[in-house]
Amino acid sequence: MPNAPDVLFRTLADPTRRALFERLCREGEKTVGALTARAGVSQPVVSKHLGILKQAGLVRDRHEGRQTHYSAQLGALAPLVDWTSEMAGFWQNRFNDLEDLLKRMDQ
């Protein structure tokens, strides 16, 4: 059972998939057909990628007749932000430690 950042990194690593997510962020809800039209890949591929994005919690789908509308779930990016902040935090702590060390050496 991989943790959240792992799933997000793996899901967003593929350019085609990330492009789909970006379009949903920029342009809002879209049908599979609308997404396929400008995706540069076939419709089954788009459906597959959308399924993976959905599994990662990055999009939700809404069925309306024979169409499926997808939209971005921006909250799902939170673990990514957390991870980045955490890494930056460690960096900051090490910097503080260094400062402390220098201070102690100065005395």
- The contact pattern for DNA, residues 14-33, with x = CB under 7 A and - = no contact, is x-xx-------------xxx
Could you tell which of its own copies, DNA, none binds residue 91, using a CB distance below 5 to 8 A set by kind? its own copies
Query: From the centroid of its chain, how far is CA 45?
Result: 19
Could you tell which of its own copies, DNA, none binds residue 9, using a CB distance below 5 to 8 A set by kind? its own copies
The neighbour count for residue 11, using CB atoms within 10 Å, is 20
Sheet hosting strand 30-31, strand order edge to edge: 30-31, 67-72, 59-64
Residue 54 CB, shortest distance to DNA, in Å, is 8
CA separation for the pair 104, 107 (Å, rounded): 5
Could you tell which of its own copies, DNA, none binds residue 90, using a CB distance below 5 to 8 A set by kind? its own copies
Q: Which two tokens stand for residue 27?
A: 């342009």
Contacts with its own copies in 88-107 (CB under 8 A)? 88, 90-91, 94
